[in-house]
Amino acid sequence: MTKAIYPGSFDPITNGHLDIIERAAGIFDELVVAIMVNPDKAFAFSLEERMDMIKESVKHLPNVTVDFSLGLTVDYAKRIDAKILIRGIRAVMDYEYEMQQATANMMLSPEIESVFLLSSPEHSFVSSSVVKNIVMNHGDVSYFVSPYVAQKLIERYSNL
């Protein structure tokens, strides 16, 4: 049984993230979407809110669970016996950053492999930052996130 993790901040989860999750869930026996907690970073949504949005978004995928962790992703992967780290690549800039991270992870834990999944073309420009910017300016985010996440975004930014 092959277990993979898809780590990230997911602030919030977008349809681009969901595309990667659905495709990875079709490849691996078990997929853990792992919210990696960074206490030095400011987030629009709390850990609990992000977990709620992800769980709602992946409820149709029986082999996907949602969890969170502090610290190094490879340490978390070892703790849950995951051998694969999934990373989404949207553009060359993502690849350069992800290659650096994957190389560091290889040095720390050579038994854990990084697997890059290319974003589907229709999601290659979508990021959580872009989505938050659109909703802060009262734009329609229905193409970029699920209806549930769109409602959470509207509630969060309605007073701006």
Q: How far is CA 29 from CA 22, 88, 130, in A?
A: 12, 18, 32
Q: Which of 156, 143, 154 is nearest to 14 (CA)?
A: 143
Catalytic residues, which ones? 17, 41, 90, 128
- Which backbone phi and psi does 44 adopt, to 5 degrees? -75, -35
- Which backbone phi and psi does 126 adopt, to 5 degrees? -85, 130
Tell me how far apart the alpha carbons of residues 76 and 72 are, in angstroms, rounded to a whole number.
7
